[in-house]
Amino acid sequence: MSAINVFEADGKQIDLAKITRLYPAVLIHAGGESASVSLEWAEMKADQISIETYLLVCDFDPVGEVPVNRIELRYPTKEALLYDMQRIVQQLNSKN
């Protein structure tokens, strides 16, 4: 595994070359249950939900298959999530 492809966060090492889907999400608490939803949906429903944590979801299964192999990085704020997303983009761009 090339060091340039490894992203480290939250005590985890992620091989960026193996990721098939990468997206932000939010773990919410609504109606007595927790659920993972898109960041955009959570922002639209902010007055109706309680955000538990922000997530950066890294899937490793082929696109079109149900994702089973996944790593979720947790962040206390949207800003921290966006910061790591930018770090990943910079790391991927430095390969080119």
Question: pLDDT digits over 47-92, tens only?
Answer: 888 899 999 999 999 988 888 899 999 999 999 999 999 998 888 7
- Tell me the backbone φ, ψ of residue 71, rounded to 5 degrees: -125, 130
Taking Cα atoms as reference points, which of 67, 66, 49, 65 lies closest to residue 57?
A: 67
Confidence grade of residue 3 (pLDDT, cut at 50, 70, 90): low
DSSP state, residue 17: G
Nearest 5 degrees, angle CA 53-CA 58-CA 59?
130
Q: Which of 10, 8, 49, 48 is nearest to 27 (CA)?
A: 49
**pLDDT, tens only, 6-44:** 888 888 889 998 999 999 999 998 778 889 999 999 999
